[in-house]
Structure 1
Amino acid sequence: MGGLSSALGSLWATLSYWLDPFCGPVGVFAIFGGDGLLSCGNVGWADEIALGVKVTIVLALITLPVGLFLGFLIALAMQSEERSLRTAAGIYTTIFRGLPELLTLFIVYFGFQMMVQAVLSWFGSEERVEINAFFAGMLALSVVFSSYCSEVLLSAFRAIPKGQYEAGSAVGLSRRRTMRLVIVPQLVRIALPGLGNLWMNLLKDTALVSVIGLTDILRQTGVAAKVTKEAFLFYAIACALYLVLATLSSFGLNAISNWANRAETSR
């Protein structure tokens, strides 16, 4: 079993090296970086920047489903018949849409840490707690994303005729199955443009996590700029990387939008 794990690990390492778009044999920095500041290895900063790109992408991709799920629940609460749920959802969206994203990040990173420390102290433990920067960034971006997402989804809910709910009930579908089979597919198609804009904002907001020490694109290029005194070079690279991610996202969003429209037309 150990031999199989070792073989799989070696295979994965080989594939990762050959498929690495930055420092692999056909990677961007391997081809254009030369032997200077943008080279891979101990001499240049390409490896560090590549790590920052990966952290940025992973952070955004993990934040997206968490934010969408929270936003969906909040949108449901905002149109609930229960007044307390509507009030709680309204307070949530007002707070996290009103606070600057950076302040929300600080509150989550430092405040959550202090809260956990206080709880442990109440139980008699003096152990020091340090919140993981990635987790704090993901949580802060998720609550901000969900507060805006809930408004987009709420507008999409209101755009769906109430007759759709009645039609699902008329054919014998439960409320949950009506939501899953009838409402949600239409909801996705209607909300997709707004959600696409929120995804673009999320990609840019990931740069905020650099202030709490997470090794994202901005953090890595900022360190490189300070060490090498080549601020324009490395911040220009950061700009180019964010623009590349935004461009790729635009292509992906257009493909999803076209697929959703074709699915709606064929119904």
Structure 2
Amino acid sequence: MNDLLTSGLQGFGPLLAEGTWMTVKLALLALALSLLLGLIGACAKLSRSALLRIPATLYTTLIRSVPDLVLILLLFYSLQIWLNDLTEALGWDYVEIDPFSAGVLTLGFIYGAYFTENFRGAILSVPAGQLEAATAYGLSRAQRFALVLFPQLMRFALPGLGNNWLVLLKSTALVSIIGLADLVKAAQNAGKTTNDMLLFLCIAGLVYLLITTLSNRLLNYLQRRYNTGVKELAR
């Protein structure tokens, strides 16, 4: 079996493994940034202050209206142009943006808009009486969020968050166009070298399937965890 895999991969196994690790790192870091931006954006959209609410609304509206590929190219090349102008104005040496860092920032920024709507809807689903009771008990704003709001909003947010995580994971393939050596790029390079593109693209697809399967198992566990003590509605 090992000989079959070795001969089938034609020595490109390590390259695919590195590409897989790159994809996982990219997706997880972009997820962390998306979650942070999503929480901030949701709080801003629910704020009574127009100075917070209007920019957050523009952010989610614009980002969700433009295709991911266009946004990735626009953000990557815009950042590089702005950085070039800045270094030239300050007399510094040319600085090239690292594709990995650019991928994390662009994907995190894009999917932060989607997570914003997930969290906003989840926050609105938490009964207001829960927060009023926490306030009556004298809990601070940070304590109300950490002990009362967040555990309950996650129960409502997890289905949407899980769906957006899977979409984000697949969107990492788009970052290969800016030079990142992710799984898709590794599969393309191996396919071009061996003239067996179908084999390596199928392998890449199977790797994505494996990651999404493991993700679904983790998401199911989290849903059970956050639904502990909650009576399920009869179907």
Q: TM-score range by the shorter chain?
A: over 0.9
Q: Which runs of 5+ in 2 are unaligned?
A: none
Is it true that 1:73 corresponds to 2:73 in the alignment? no
Is it true that 1:152 corresponds to 2:118 in the alignment? yes
Distance 2:14 2:90 in 1: 44
TM-score, length-scaled by structure 1: 0.83
Asked if 2 retains the 8 angstrom alpha-carbon contact of 1:71 and 1:148, the reply is yes
Identity of aligned residues (%): 38
Distance 1:132 1:124 in 2: 21
Asked if 2 retains the 8 angstrom alpha-carbon contact of 1:37 and 1:45, the reply is no
Alignment of 1:104-115 (within 5 A): 104-115=71-82
Q: SS in structure 2 opposite 1:169?
A: helix
CA shift digits 1:200-255 (9 cap, x unpaired) = 00110010111111111100000111111101111111111111111111111111
Alignment of 1:133-172 (within 5 A): 133-172=99-138
Partner of 1:38: 9
Shift of 1:180: 1.3
Shift of 1:124: 3.1
CA shift digits 1:170-213 (9 cap, x unpaired) = 11111221111110110111101110001100110010111111
Asked if 1 retains the 8 angstrom alpha-carbon contact of 2:87 and 2:94, the reply is no
Q: SS in structure 1 opposite 2:227?
A: helix
Shift of 1:123: 2.1
Amino acid at match of 1:115: W
Partner of 1:98: 65
Is it true that 1:242 corresponds to 2:208 in the alignment? yes
**Structure of higher RCO (CA pairs closer than 8 Å, 6+ residues apart):** 2
Query: CA, structure 1 residues 31+153, in 2 after alignment: closer, same or farther (shift >3 Å)?
Result: farther
Distance 1:71 1:261 in 2: 22
Asked if 2 retains the 8 angstrom alpha-carbon contact of 1:165 and 1:178, the reply is yes
Distance 1:261 1:31 in 2: 46
Q: SS in structure 2 opposite 1:105?
A: helix
Q: SS in structure 2 opposite 1:130?
A: coil
Asked if 1 retains the 8 angstrom alpha-carbon contact of 2:100 and 2:180, the reply is yes
Asked if 2 retains the 8 angstrom alpha-carbon contact of 1:210 and 1:219, the reply is yes
Q: How many residues align?
A: 231
Distance 1:84 1:99 in 2: 24
Asked if 1 retains the 8 angstrom alpha-carbon contact of 2:152 and 2:226, the reply is no
Q: Which runs of 5+ in 1 are unaligned?
A: 1-28
RMSD of Structure 2 on Structure 1 (CA): 1.5
Amino acid at match of 2:227: N
- Match among 16, 28, 42 for residue 49 of structure 1: 16
Q: SS in structure 1 opposite 2:180?
A: coil
Partner of 2:227: 261
Amino acid at match of 2:30: T
Partner of 1:219: 185
Q: Which runs of 4+ in 1 moved over 6 A?
A: none
Amino acid at match of 1:75: A
Query: CA, structure 1 residues 30+64, in 2 after alignment: closer, same or farther (shift >3 Å)?
Result: farther
Shift of 1:109: 1.6
Alignment of 1:175-194 (within 5 A): 175-194=141-160
Shift of 1:108: 2.1
